[in-house]
Amino acid sequence: MMKKVIVYQIDSFTKEKFKGNPAGVVLNAENMTTEEMQLIARELNNSETAFVFRPHHPEENFDYHVRYFTPTTEVPSCGHATIAALYAKAQEDQLDSCTIRIHTPIGILPIHIERNDDDYLITMTQGRFELSPSFDPLMTQRILLALGLTMDDLDEKCPVQIASTGHSKVMVGIKSNMTLQHLTPDLNTLAKLSKEIGCNGYFVFTFETGEKEILTNGRMFAPAIGIAEDPVTGNANGPLGGYLIQNKIKETSDAIFEFTGKQGEAINRIGKVKVQVSIQDSQPHIIRITGNAVSVFRTTMDL
């Protein structure tokens, strides 16, 4: 029997089509197999595609399941594809402002949908923040070399270490935005290093933005999972907030630390992520990311 699924293409972290980070979204994935999901993700060829489906049992304590696939593999979480999925759901069902609980491989996450006229702003509560110890000098140098950087490029305040809110990234803080925008990493070496360190993504960022309202510019590379460069990464900018607080790189007297990160300039897909870190006992507690989105197309697909 033929299955008909609803497919959206959404650009996240922007209000301008063909900017930000594109994600595929399949809204009625109830009867799809894992193989079908992987094939659609490969066909759409976005860094991630999100598949949304209702709980198997009515008594389950959430509204929807969401699974995430790159063109080559399933991943546990994705910030921009979550923003895209809930934006598409809000558009499809013409939702009012509400909070929807989604079941993901990293747990049940509340996603707030704020309606403004006929448009929506999406806020994702991310998974639990974790920070690994800094890499030793030898591994740090190997990572930098693969990225096309030297020790002199590093911002001395910023240790090279893995941060995660569900899908980990190596945080690499550097001094110069010019250096950032001209990076040409060795993707094969990065992919091999990923197997050694157990982390697929490398997020290189700088505080040298030249824009008062933008704290960081960043770029994110994840060749081990088929993503040469991700345009705008929720699962990098969110953990970056926790990393900055836990390492005391940024101080705040409030219980909330907020900033905006920009990404995508080098590949002409600029987008902005608003990050909010709630702080408890001087440590990052809950991390949320907020983003705009815009629908590029809606179609149906026969399987």
- Which active-site residues does the annotation give? 48
| SS3 assignment for the chain | CCCEEEEEEEEECCCCCCCCEEEEEECCCCCCCHHHHHHHHHHHCCCEEEEEECCCCCCCCCCEEEEEECCCCEECCCHHHHHHHHHHHHHHHCCCCEEEEEEECCEEEEEEEEEECCEEEEEEECCCCEECCCCCHHHHHHHHHHHCCCHHHECCCCCCEEEECCCCEEEEEECCHHHHHCCCCCHHHHHHHHHHHCCCEEEEEECCCCCCCCCEEEEEEEHHHCEEEECCCHHHHHHHHHHHHHCCCCCCCCCEEEEEEEECHHHCCCEEEEEEEEEECCEEEEEEEEECEEEEEEEEEEC
Bridge partners of residue 104, in order along the sequence? 107
Question: Which residue, among 19, 7, 3, has the nearest Cα to 292 in the 3D structure?
Answer: 19
Decide if 160 contacts 135 (C-beta within 8 A). Answer: yes
- Angle CA(155)–CA(156)–CA(158) in degrees, nearest 5? 70
Contact 158, 249 (CB under 8 A): yes
Structure tokens at 167: 């899908």
